[in-house]
Structure 1
Amino acid sequence: MRAAYDKTAEAGSARMTIRMKLSADGKTVTSDGEGVIDLAEGDSVMTVGVQDKTLEQRVVDQVLYQKASGQKAPDGKPWIKIDLEKVAARQGLNNQQIGDPAQTAAYAKAITDEDVTKAGTEKIGGTSTTHYKVSVDVSKLPGGEQMSKRLGPTLPMQVWLDDEGRLRRQQVDMTVEAPASASATPDNGAAPQQLKMSTVMEFSDFGTDADAEAPPAGQVADMTDEALRGAQQQS
């Protein structure tokens, strides 16, 4: 099971789809993405639909670039960028919230030897797969120390492997307890906000071309500092 990610990465690249659902305070936001990913380098190119908006997204050398249809960055440039390495150094969980598909796929690297259960067989995109329920060692994930404070030591995950041991589908469902507000006290009964996140990734067409290039520098606004401030407010 722990070799599943390496076996998948041996293909070099793949076509992918991602479905994500975030729920908090009675509100739910969904997003659907499709594109290609370089499994060795972590670069990716995607088109993402979030509610009624469409995003063009690229990850190149650990930098996330996004362009939203009909919107521009504060300085009028069409693209924004966020340095994922800087964000991960501050709070690893935020990488998942931003939507770096390589970080999400890498959860499979941290599958433990315990709690592995075969859950049946299923065809995904015409390919026969075996479905397993597994546990992830949170401490082995990027930003694991910070993530463990909110998620606990392990995280349940489901994977579907083909006959070659490669990932065809990966599902992660997590519940994150956000820090209590400054006004929360035993007297007023205020409770920490709870965020539920479900992410499903599927892989196909292994070996497909996955060339990701950064947009021209003159068309990009750097929003890394804004992302870091958001991470600080959540910590």
Structure 2
Amino acid sequence: MKPAAPAVAVATLLLAGAVGCSAGDASPEMEPAAAAVARAAKSSDGITSFRYRITGTVPETGRVHGEAAMNVEPLAMSMRMTAEDRADDGQVEIRLVDGAMYIGGGAEAAKETDGKSWIKFDLSATGADGELNSEQLGGGQAGKNPAAESTFLTGSKDVKKVGSETVEGVRTTHYNGTVTLDALEKSFDKADKATREKRQKSIEQYEKMGVDRLTMDLWVDGDDHTKRFRMRGDADKGPLDMTITFFDVNKPVTVAAPPARDVADLAEMMKDGGA
């Protein structure tokens, strides 16, 4: 059973970016635009929860949009994602709570699971051959903080101020630049091992897509918080163009598991199926 497979794939991609991934403090010798971007990256360390909107285009899947909310510690997340060019199976809801990920496939999914519209993935589960793990179930991506991807612009050598703009009623400063994944990885060298590993994971999905250079736009508010960012790049199977807008930063986020009567447990399904 593959409930809303395109939207699930997009959700997995968009939930990438390591928690606490920042560029550090701005140094005095930085250009003003680069220093402002560095301060915005540093401020991501203090984010404990947020809501966000996703819009754009993803290779193979096409146009997507979604809304989500995340609590960083303890980790909890909910997301509704729609692949607009996949009318038949393009909608999905994902919840990550209490160490498990739930994927809602709606009425169509329920036809294949005895009327249960949700599938539960225990992120610590492994198959008999060890091939089923949290990374393949999406847990490796769903446990990350998407706000951290805005820090990618700190790896740019050509970042510049575009001007002042209002985003969702908030006055912001717009910055733009390009960054290669090679330069981004090199910028991780000064970080400690744990931080370096988190940052490396935050770009792996782009490497797998064949993206080697990103054009980024960043909108920063008066408190040095990222309000919106846009990432564009050429992947092996088409253009990538995603925009994420943030709301309700550091306001409480509560996520509840679906009712047990509506949930099919993947581990039990595999056990019953002998796979």
Shared fold per TM-score greater than 0.5? yes
Matched, 1:33 2:93: no
Determine the structure 2 residue equivalent to 1:176.
235
**Rg: which structure is higher?**
2
Per the alignment, do residues 23 and 57 of structure 1 end up closer, same or farther by CA in structure 2, a change over 3 Å counting? Answer: same
Determine the structure 1 residue equivalent to 2:25.
none
Other structure's SS at 1:45 match: strand
TM-score by structure 1 length?
Answer: 0.66
Q: CA deviation at 1:46?
A: 2.4
Q: CA deviation at 1:116?
A: 1.5
Matched, 1:204 2:247: yes
Matched, 1:15 2:59: no
Maintained 8 Å contact 1:2/1:108 = no
Maintained 8 Å contact 1:107/1:136 = no
Separation in structure 1 between the aligned mates of residue 118 and residue 169 of structure 2, nearest angstrom: 37
TM-score by structure 2 length?
Answer: 0.58
Structure 1: stretches of 5+ with no match in the other structure: 178-193, 224-235
Determine the structure 2 residue equivalent to 1:79.
118
Per the alignment, do residues 119 and 148 of structure 1 end up closer, same or farther by CA in structure 2, a change over 3 Å counting? Answer: same
Maintained 8 Å contact 2:106/2:118 = no
Matched, 1:222 2:266: yes
Q: CA deviation at 1:90?
A: 10
Per the alignment, do residues 81 and 158 of structure 1 end up closer, same or farther by CA in structure 2, a change over 3 Å counting? Answer: farther
Maintained 8 Å contact 2:121/2:265 = no
Other structure's SS at 2:52 match: strand
Maintained 8 Å contact 1:133/1:158 = yes
Query: What is the aligned residue count?
Result: 199
Please state which structure has a larger fraction of its residues in helix.
Answer: 2
Per the alignment, do residues 145 and 101 of structure 1 end up closer, same or farther by CA in structure 2, a change over 3 Å counting? Answer: closer
Determine the structure 2 residue equivalent to 1:167.
226
Matched, 1:118 2:147: no
Structure 2: stretches of 5+ with no match in the other structure: 1-36, 125-132, 186-198, 268-275
Matched, 1:56 2:56: no
1:129-155: CA deviation from partner (whole Å, max 9, x where unpaired): 111113364534416467446222x43
Maintained 8 Å contact 1:42/1:102 = no
Per the alignment, do residues 89 and 68 of structure 1 end up closer, same or farther by CA in structure 2, a change over 3 Å counting? Answer: closer
Maintained 8 Å contact 1:60/1:214 = yes
Q: Identify the range of structure 1 (113-122 vs 123-132) with the bigger mean alpha-carbon deviation.
A: 113-122
Per the alignment, do residues 148 and 83 of structure 1 end up closer, same or farther by CA in structure 2, a change over 3 Å counting? Answer: farther
Maintained 8 Å contact 2:44/2:147 = no
Per the alignment, do residues 207 and 82 of structure 1 end up closer, same or farther by CA in structure 2, a change over 3 Å counting? Answer: same
